[in-house]
A and B are shown apart, each in its own frame.
Chain A
Amino acid sequence: EVQVVDSGGGLVQPGGSLRLSCVASGFTVISKFMNWFRQAPGRGLEWVSVSYPDGTTYYGDSVRGRFSVSRDSSKNTLFLQMTNLRVEDTAVYHCAREMRLGTSREAVDIWGQGTVVVVSS
């Protein structure tokens, strides 16, 4: 079955760090365009980052310089390292796979169930 499973969320104090994991099955993480999204309580969806197959990464304005994405091909896992966390980073974080046709971004077709991050003192 093609799926991703997110984990690693928890309660952290402002200024703290956390690393989220996204384990994929049914496909290889390093061969796909992989994204992180988040959803704050009662709010809509927000794009956080993308990781390209060639290792290029891009980040949203609100997290650039604080969050970083990495991959471990041996574990078929995508990571989101979050540092200098703020209260406004509180959200459910979803790992997700982009569906592409050639170079065209078509949709995000596989989503993780989400992992909850709470930043609070």
Chain B
Amino acid sequence: DIQLTQSPSFLSASVGDRVTITCRASQGISSYLAWYQQISGKAPKLLIYAASNLQSGVPSRFSGSGSGTEFTLTISSLQPEDLATYYCQQLNNYPLTFGGGTKVEIK
């Protein structure tokens, strides 16, 4: 199985800050990576697919980059509604696996 390691597991930042979350894969997965936002108690929401493509309706402050084994999710200007846990997911093969999550807190 492909392991995904997310860092940090927790971060606290102020409104307006630039925030970066990293996801590292245990083997190369090309660009088969997606990012999700999960607000407490809700279903995950797709933010980024194919490593760098913004899902329709998602604010442009979210962006993704990377390929192979290293990926990043960036929030260019953190907003109060971005309080959530963020997960990366690899879709290179089954089993589909997720990173451990990054909980984002607003200072």
Contacts and interface: CB of A to CB of B under 8 A. Distances in A.
Interface of A: 35, 44-47, 50, 58, 60-61, 94, 98-99, 101, 104-109, 111-114
A46 B55 CA distance: 22
Contact of B101 (A44, A113, A114): A44
Contacts, number: 63
B43 A35 contact: no
Interface string B38-60: 00001111101110010100000
B11 interface: no
**Chain B facing A: main interface SS:** loop
Interface of B: 32, 34, 36, 42-46, 48-50, 53, 55, 87, 89, 91-92, 94-101
A45 B55 contact: no
A52 B94 CA distance: 12
Contact of A44 (B32, B91, B98): B98
Contacts of A108: 34, 36, 44, 46, 89, 96
B50 A35 contact: no
A35 B55 contact: no
A104 B32 contact: yes
Contacts of B92: 105
B42 A44 contact: no
Given A44-B101, A106-B34, A109-B55, A35 B42 contact: no
A47 B94 contact: yes
Contacts of B42: 113
A94 B95 contact: no
B91 A107 contact: yes
Given A44-B100, A47-B96, A47-B97, A109 B46 contact: yes
Given A45-B98, A47-B95, A105 B43 contact: no
A107 B95 contact: no
B87 A112 contact: no
B94 A58 contact: yes
A107 B34 contact: yes
Nearest to A48: B95
A45 B87 contact: yes
